Homo-oligomer: A and B are copies of this chain.
Amino acid sequence: MPEIVNWTTVRVYYEDTDFSGRVYHASYVRFLERGRTEWLRQIGLRHDILAQSETAFAVRRLEIDFRGPAFIDDALEIETTAEAIKGATLRFRQRVLRGEKILVAAETQIVTISRNRPVRPPRELLERLRRLGVDSAIDAVAERGEPQG
């Protein structure tokens, strides 16, 4: 499917750092989640709307390479690219950069869940993606029937 990329800026605050003087590694995991939320908002969806149909996102798998440190007051860019939707699973490729420097590279698999069980991504999400020209992915999902999770 055509790639839909979101760029989100994150400021490093006290809360994101640890006593080593750098950004705490789990803070990047929060930053990456913010990036995926903003990707969702970019295609016109929000978690609170999804929640009305009792749907939420859950992270299934996370791979993160930490390549360099960030520090208090840094302005970081979160680049979020949705790569594929298969069954109940969305795959994102994400990077955290300060200027040109890549600090973090990550791959994330998300499942859409309802009452703690994986379900096909909600109609709103699939419709938004269809309008953005990603019909084949949607058809693939439509044919698949049962979620993977």
Interface residues of A (CB under 8 A from B): 11, 13-15, 17-22, 24-26, 29-30, 33-34, 37, 41, 46-48, 51, 56, 58-66, 69, 71-73, 113, 116
Cα(A26)–Cα(B26), bound, Å: 6
Contacts of A65 in B (CB 8 A): 60-61
Whether A13 pairs with B29 at a CB distance below 8 angstroms is no
Contacts of A20 in B (CB 8 A): 14, 56, 58, 113
Contacts of A24 in B (CB 8 A): 14-15
Contacts of A25 in B (CB 8 A): 29, 33, 58-59, 62
Cα(A26)–Cα(B63), bound, Å: 13
A–B Cβ pairs within 8 angstroms, 15 of them? A13-B30, A13-B33, A15-B18, A15-B30, A17-B19, A19-B19, A19-B56, A19-B71, A21-B21, A22-B116, A25-B29, A26-B30, A47-B73, A48-B71, A58-B69
Q: Which residue of chain B has its CB nearest to the CB of A115?
A: B21
Q: Which residue of chain B has its CB nearest to the CB of A64?
A: B62
Cα(A34)–Cα(B66), bound, Å: 19
Cα(A14)–Cα(B64), bound, Å: 19
